[in-house]
Amino acid sequence: GENVEQHPSTLSVQEGDSAVIKCTYSDSASNYFPWYKQELGKRPQLIIDIRSNVGEKKDQRIAVTLNKTAKHFSLHITETQPEDSAVYFCAASRAGGSYIPTFGRGTSLIVHP
Amino acid sequence: NAGVTQTPKFRVLKTGQSMTLLCAQDMNHEYMYWYRQDPGMGLRLIHYSVGEGTTAKGEVPDGYNVSRLKKQNFLLGLESAAPSQTSVYFCASQRGSKNIQYFGAGTRLSVL
């Protein structure tokens, strides 16, 4: 089955800095890679996703890049703000059909004012 | 449109007691999931369902049972609760052809 490794487990940055979270996956058939943000005491919510037919996707201050050859994808947050502090989860799955997404263990991002 | 609703939000059980967690979604999604979340362990899949009347085991199914008698509901049962089942439980639903998971607000369960 699929195995997703996520690093780092904790990331501490100063407000305004950039943050990068990396995930690697094992199943070359995976073709859908979502990222979820979970604020303290809240539910995980999708913030951005990417499919394997593109290499990069941006949405304001967040972006995701995908390297299919190396089987890794990354979340980039620029100009971090205190409200970006949360746990971020990556996941990998196959789009369509019967499949189960596999989650990484999460990264706790702390943005210091 | 409420999305995914979990009940109860909090519960304290004694070892050996039983309980059922209810997940309801109003988005007509085919797929539903139960996860548990423990510190440092991320989201671990307990059981899932790809449609009404079907269920399957996930990564950590022992000590739990599930049922999906109606498309909109997915029940998670603990027959004999153990302290190791103290956790936060999340339900999620997903449209079959799309891949975004929508999560419920979670149930915080303590087993003493």
pLDDT, tens only, B26-39: 999 999 999 999 98
CA B65 to chain A, closest CA, distance in angstroms equals 18
Q: Is B90 on the interface with A (CB under 8 A)?
A: yes
**Numbers of helices and strands, H then E, in chain B:** 0, 11
Interface test with A, best of B43, B50, B91, B95 (most A CBs within 10 A): B43
- Residues near A41 by Cβ (< 8 Å), separated by ≥ 6? none
Q: Is A104 on the interface with B (CB under 8 A)?
A: yes
Q: Is A95 helix (H, G, I), strand (E, B) or coil?
A: coil
CA B99 to chain A, closest CA, distance in angstroms equals 6
The CA-atom distances, in angstroms, between B102 and each of A11, A47, A100, A111, B94 are: 26, 12, 14, 26, 6
Mean pLDDT calculated for residue range B41-61: 92
| Strands A19-25, A4-7: pairing kind | antiparallel
In this structure, what token pair is assigned to residue A85? 């502090």
pLDDT surpasses 80 at A14: yes
Amino acid present at A71: K
pLDDT, tens only, A49-108: 998 888 999 999 999 999 999 999 999 999 999 999 999 999 998 866 557 888 999 999
Q: What local confidence, expressed as pLDDT, does residue A21 receive?
A: 98
Q: What local confidence, expressed as pLDDT, does residue A6 receive?
A: 97
